[in-house]
Structure 1
Amino acid sequence: MNKKIKTYSFGMKKKITFIQACIGDFDTYIFDEPTSGVDVESATVMMTIISEICSKGAAVLLTSHNLEELEQVSDYVYFLKNGVIESEGTVNDLLTKQDDQKKQPYVVVPLDMAELTHYLNNHYHDDYSRYDSHIAVYVDDCVQGSALLKELVQNDIDIVAFYQRQSNLKETLFGSDVDETLDIKQS
């Protein structure tokens, strides 16, 4: 109570300005990088509050470098590069456009890497990438992905996990392919 705001940490100051912006009931809100410098738990609460504001029908302009946050709360996204709109659209439209432009990666976590690698060398040639704990196989669509799984099962290749890798705004913006940063999920 007796401590001046100027003595607070950067993150605490950000939280206070966020709270100030949310006091009242407005039809328009502007948030410029609201979660930068804020701990993860507080950032999660802040994004929930922004979602609630949107659900009440208020217009929200949110600028952020955190593409995961934008993906969660945005109705419409503009990507700026050097002050020029490089791409725009709904999150779904942008992700769909990205997905239509390249083969879809299916992540396969085999029980025996050598066995799966041998099979893929004979049937899929260059349409896969091998990593330490998994292999990403690239197919045209989910029909081919399902056919791939069926082939593996019919050829007695034991699979620990198999799932389609979903695109995100980061991949859409920067065009990165599936790499070592894939999360391995049991499915």
Structure 2
Amino acid sequence: MNVIETQQLTKSYGASPVVKGITVTVKKGEVFGFLGKNGAGKSTFINTLTGIIHPTSGSYSLLGEKGPNDKIKQKIGVMPDYVTFYSSLTPVKHLRMLSALSGKPVSKSQCIDVLNKVGLEKHAHKKTSKFSFGMKKKLGIAMAIIHDPELIFLDEPTSGLDAESVIVIQKLIQQLQSNGKTVFMTSHNLDEVEKICTRMAIMKEGQIVKIGTIDELRSFYRSTITVKVKHSTIPMNEKVNLYHWLGSNGTDLEATETHFVLNVNSENKIAEVIRALNQLKVDVLRVEVEEPSLEEIFLEA
């Protein structure tokens, strides 16, 4: 089941298009990462899907409802890139007020439970005027999930948080997924996206330039594979022939007595290298394969 579907979705301000004809689908239960440099149009795209702004052209649907539609707002949770709070209210009062507006009022204990999930339980009754940026970020996430939405939009959910809080929020996102929720998130933390997202899209100048799982993106961008092999001693009378063979089956060979590094153009070549060593009765002690990181893929997109 697709919970997000867009068809040629476009948003322009005057003669300047910010989102340029995006067609994308997100399936139920995915943690979908949306990547792009500042100014790529990510927040505008999210704001369009969540009804904050209206598209210039194209269409979209969320959870089977064609947007924009007030019914959608009751089924989704949103943490925008910037959240404002009433300085005189506590987190509990914020959550109860928001849940009442959404048509799904919650109890005080339910509020405490959600605040516990984001790591704010000790501050449940403090006024938000005393909150740090990171605490406000956590409260924004709590407000996005308090009414138990099926689809959750999180714009930079861990930016500005300390390392411990980042782990708490990442685990929360994974827990939401395990409970059948769908999470659509932006993040500049590429390690985070690679760790918790099932699929991701890279946006550049208002368009999606690549979409897929991390393995699919690696396959698309990878031209060579770097293989590092630790091995037992190679017989002296076989070294020259072996190194010649390795050089003809790969590039940039670097070798020592017990290690070599080689770039090859396919995974099949790795198996051939191991077979060649076995034929010489050289023990393969360890094989390491260097994959392109999401950061490298992002920079090449």
Q: Tell me the TM-score normalized by structure 2.
A: 0.46
Aligned equivalent of 1:165: 290
2:265 partner letter: D
The 1:31/1:135 distance shift into structure 2, 3 A limit, reads farther
Which structure shows the higher strand fraction?
2
Percent identity (aligned): 28
Picking from 170, 177, 180, the partner of 1:54 is 177
Aligned equivalent of 2:143: 20
Offset from partner CA, 1:109-134 (integer Å, 9 cap, x none): 5799xx9x988864444712659xx7
Q: Distance in 2 between matches of 1:120 and 1:38?
A: 52
Aligned equivalent of 2:55: none
Q: Distance in 2 between matches of 1:168 and 1:123?
A: 29
Aligned equivalent of 1:39: 162
Picking from 229, 232, 251, the partner of 1:127 is 251
Count residues in correspondence: 170
* Bigger mean CA deviation after superposition, 147-156 or 160-169: 147-156
The 1:70/1:137 distance shift into structure 2, 3 A limit, reads same
1:127 partner letter: T
Q: Based on CA coordinates, which of the two structures has the bigger radius of gyration?
A: 2
The 1:3/1:49 distance shift into structure 2, 3 A limit, reads closer
Q: Secondary structure at the match of 2:219?
A: helix
Q: Secondary structure at the match of 2:211?
A: strand
* Bigger mean CA deviation after superposition, 36-45 or 26-35: 36-45
The 1:155/1:128 distance shift into structure 2, 3 A limit, reads farther
Aligned equivalent of 1:105: 226
Q: Secondary structure at the match of 1:164?
A: strand
Aligned equivalent of 2:219: 96
Q: Distance in 2 between matches of 1:129 and 1:40?
A: 39
Aligned equivalent of 2:132: 9
Aligned-residue offset at 1:148? 2.1
CA contact (8 A) 1:31 1:63 kept: yes
Q: Secondary structure at the match of 1:38?
A: coil
CA contact (8 A) 1:77 1:91 kept: yes
Aligned-residue offset at 1:64? 0.8
Aligned-residue offset at 1:138? 1.0
Give unpaired runs (5+ residues) of structure 1: 177-187
Aligned equivalent of 2:274: 149
Aligned-residue offset at 1:34? 0.5
Give unpaired runs (5+ residues) of structure 2: 1-122
The 1:19/1:165 distance shift into structure 2, 3 A limit, reads same
Aligned-residue offset at 1:88? 1.6
Aligned equivalent of 1:30: 153
CA contact (8 A) 1:28 1:58 kept: yes
CA contact (8 A) 1:128 1:135 kept: no
Aligned equivalent of 2:263: 138
Aligned equivalent of 1:174: 299
Q: Distance in 1 between matches of 2:260 and 2:126?
A: 55
Q: Distance in 1 between matches of 2:179 and 2:126?
A: 35
Q: Distance in 1 between matches of 2:130 and 2:232?
A: 55
Aligned-residue offset at 1:56? 2.7
Aligned equivalent of 1:182: none
Across the aligned residues of Structure 1 and Structure 2, the Cα RMSD in angstroms comes to 3.4
Q: Distance in 1 between matches of 2:241 and 2:147?
A: 62
Q: Tell me the TM-score normalized by structure 1.
A: 0.69
The 1:175/1:149 distance shift into structure 2, 3 A limit, reads farther
Q: Distance in 2 between matches of 1:33 and 1:118?
A: 54
Q: Distance in 2 between matches of 1:109 and 1:6?
A: 58
Q: Distance in 1 between matches of 2:142 and 2:296?
A: 32
